[in-house]
Amino acid sequence: MSGEAIVPGTILEWDGFVDSKGNKIRKLFLIVGAHSDKNYLSIRATSKKKWREYQPADDADYYYIPGGKLEWFALDTWVLFTAPQEFNRAGLEREMKAGKLRIKGCLRGQLANEICNRMRKCQDVSEYHASLLGPAIQQEKK
């Protein structure tokens, strides 16, 4: 897998994601769970605001990331806690070797931890998916 570690905060680009209309599209996903003994857990990213707020409640089913400033995303982005996607390690490696999944970047550890913590508060997230979140990114000592 090109030697890059997959940790919470890793941004994946998936060619061939099937959307709700059955179309294969390119979509960005954010890894929110990367335990060595469990499946990877990811959530979709979107730049379409729709009804979403810029300052969501603590228990909202999404998290807002401002675009073009400190973080990786050029556009305002919402990561959606609903419909998380699991990847088993072998499947993820196979899709990466086939060129269908690529690591595009990684969020700061502090932001990745905040997103995981917010996801734990969301009532729409199952206990099972909550168990896949993390591990927490350790901050570098100054």
- Is 1 part of a structural domain of the chain? no
Residue 26 structural domain: 10-132
Residue 2 located in a structural domain = no
Q: Is residue 5 part of a domain?
A: no
How far apart (Å, rounded) are the C-alpha atoms in residues 78 and 4? 25
Tally the residues of the chain: 142
Can you tell me the distance from the alpha carbon of 45 to that of 30, in angstroms, rounded to the nearest whole number?
A: 7
Tell me the pLDDT of the chain (142 aa) as tens digits: 444 689 999 999 998 888 888 888 889 999 999 998 999 999 999 998 888 888 888 889 999 999 887 778 899 999 999 889 999 999 999 999 999 999 999 999 999 999 999 999 999 999 999 999 999 887 665 5
- Whole-prediction pTM: 0.89
Residue 140 falls inside a structural domain: no
pLDDT at 141: 57
Please indicate, yes or no, if residue 80 is contained in any of the structural domains: yes
| 115 domain-assigned | yes
The two tokens of residue 108 are 């700061």
Domain tally, the chain: 1
Whether residue 35 lies inside any domain: the answer is yes
Give just the sign of the alpha carbon dihedral 72, 53, 138, 9: negative
Strands (DSSP E) found in the chain: 10-18, 24-33, 40-46, 62-65, 77-87, 101-106
Unique residue bearing structure tokens 């990786």: 72
